[in-house]
Chains A and B, each alone.
Chain A
Amino acid sequence: MIDIDWRQVFSQIALYFGAGLIAVVCGFPLLWMVLTSVRPDRDILSPAPKFWSFEYHWEHYRNLYNLTDFHIYFFNSITIAGTATLLTILVATLAAYGITRFRFGGRETIAGGMLFTYMFAPILIIVPFYILMRSAGLVNSKLGLVFAYTTFSLPFSMWLLRAFFQSIPIDLEEAAMTDGASRVKAVALVIVPLALPGVIAVSIFTFIVAWNDYLFARVLINDNELKTLPIGMDDLYNATVTDWGMMMAGGVVITIPALVFFILVQRYLIAGWGAGAVKG
Chain B
Amino acid sequence: MAAVLPGQVLAIPVRRRARPNRPRRLPESTWGYLLILPAVLLVLGLILYPVVYSGWLSLHNKHAYLPIETFVGFGNFASMFGDGEFWRSIKLGAIYGIGSVGLQILVGVSAALLLNETFIGRTFIRGVALFPYMVPTVVVVILMKWILNDAYGVLPYLLKSIGIGEDILWLDTGHVMLTVILISTWTFFPFVVIGTLARLQTIDPELYAAAKVDGAGVVRRFIHVTLPQLRNVLFVVILLRFMFMFTKFDVIWLLNGSSGVGYYTRTLPIYTYIKTFGQLQVGAGAAMSMFMFLMLVCFAMIYFRVFRRDEGL
Contacts and interface: CB of A to CB of B under 8 A. Distances in A.
A and B held together in a complex: yes
Interface string A33-54: 1001000000011111100000
A129 B33 contact: no
Contacts of B147: 29, 32
B269 interface: yes
Main secondary structure on chain B at its contact with chain A?
helix
Interface stretch (A59-67, A167-175, A188-196, A243-251): A243-251
B87 interface: no
Given A19-B125, A244-B152, A151 B42 contact: yes
Interface in B54-74: 54, 57
Given A15-B117, A154-B42, A229-B136, A277 B195 contact: yes
B121 to A, nearest CB: 7
Nearest to B277: A219
A125 B45 CA distance: 12
Interface in A84-121: 91-92, 94-95, 97-99, 101-105, 107, 110, 112-117, 119-121
B134 A128 contact: no
B169 to A, nearest CB: 16
A258 B311 CA distance: 33
B51 to A, nearest CB: 6
Which interface residue of B39, B233, B248, B257 has the most chain A CB atoms within 10 A?
A: B39
B134 A102 contact: no
A127 B289 contact: yes
Size category, B interface: 35 or more
B90 interface: no
Which interface residue of A112, A126, A127, A251 has the most chain B CB atoms within 10 A?
A: A127
B32 A214 contact: no
B265 interface: no
Given A116-B300, A214-B250, A255-B134, A125 B31 contact: no
A274 B194 contact: yes
Contact of A124 (B128, B240, B293): B293
Given A27-B128, A36-B146, A124-B296, A259 B38 contact: no
A212 B131 CA distance: 14
B152 A262 contact: no
A103 B32 contact: yes
Contacts of A229: 136, 138
A258 B194 CA distance: 18
A124 B51 contact: yes
A132 interface: yes
Nearest to A93: B35
A119 B136 contact: no
A94 B114 contact: no
Nearest to A129: B50
B50 to A, nearest CB: 4
A29 B144 contact: yes
A208 B134 contact: yes
Nearest to A24: B128
Interface in A133-184: 147-148, 150-152, 154-155, 158
Given A45-B152, A125-B47, A270 B194 contact: yes
A76 interface: no
A215 B250 contact: yes
A25 interface: yes
A98 B46 contact: no
Nearest to A231: B138
B247 interface: yes
Contact of B247 (A46, A103, A121, A259): A121
B114 A22 contact: yes
B194 A273 contact: yes
Interface string B178-189: 000000001000
Interface in B288-309: 289, 292-293, 296, 299-300, 303-304, 307
Nearest 7 pairs of A and B residues by beta carbon: A98-B35, A274-B198, A102-B32, A121-B247, A277-B195, A95-B39, A104-B29
9 contacts: A44-B152, A49-B157, A119-B296, A121-B292, A127-B276, A151-B47, A214-B138, A215-B249, A270-B198
Given A101-B32, A244-B152, A274-B198, 13 more contacts: A22-B114, A27-B131, A32-B143, A49-B157, A98-B31, A104-B32, A120-B47, A132-B50, A212-B137, A230-B136, A247-B146, A250-B139, A278-B195
